[in-house]
């Protein structure tokens, strides 16, 4: 992973993709300034969800292009993907898992 960009006020964007055949999600686009604007605009034009989280973007900007995200980001990305899945499958209604669902998730072995 590389060092983060020195100017925190400059717009930045990261695009990730997840293929269940891969070990983890991959960073497929990232950039600052005009490139960041283009990444966001292109995502929206293609009907993709744009999640705004400066902290997460800052961490993902450190991941090399076309590299899998590091294990330290698995939980954050998994929670985001689960939230997006809920949006997609429940007609835009996001809900937190029940205690029973959370318990079942926690019982499943990792990996």
Query: For the whole model, what pTM was predicted?
Result: 0.68
- Pair 61, 73: CB distance under 8 Å: no
Q: How far apart are CA 50 and CA 28, in angstroms?
A: 14
On the question of pLDDT at 14 being above 70, the answer is yes
Please state, in angstroms and rounded to a whole number, the distance separating the CA atoms of residues 45 and 39. 10
**What pLDDT, on a 0 to 100 scale, did the predictor assign at position 91?**
59
Split at pLDDT 50, 70, 90, the class of 33 is very high
- Write the pLDDT tens digit of every residue in 89-108: 765 554 555 566 555 554 54
């Amino acid at each position: 992973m590389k060092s983060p960009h020195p100017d925190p006020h400059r717009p930045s964007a990261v695009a990730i993709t997840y293929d269940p055949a891969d070990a983890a999600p991959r960073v497929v686009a990232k950039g600052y300034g005009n490139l960041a604007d283009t990444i966001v605009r292109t995502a929206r034009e293609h009907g993709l969800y744009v999640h705004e989280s400066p902290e997460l973007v800052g961490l993902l900007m450190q991941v090399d292009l076309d590299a899998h995200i590091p294990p330290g980001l698995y939980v954050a990305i998994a929670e985001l993907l689960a939230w997006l899945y809920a949006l997609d499958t429940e007609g835009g209604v996001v809900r937190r898992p029940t205690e029973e669902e959370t318990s079942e998730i926690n019982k499943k072995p990792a990996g």
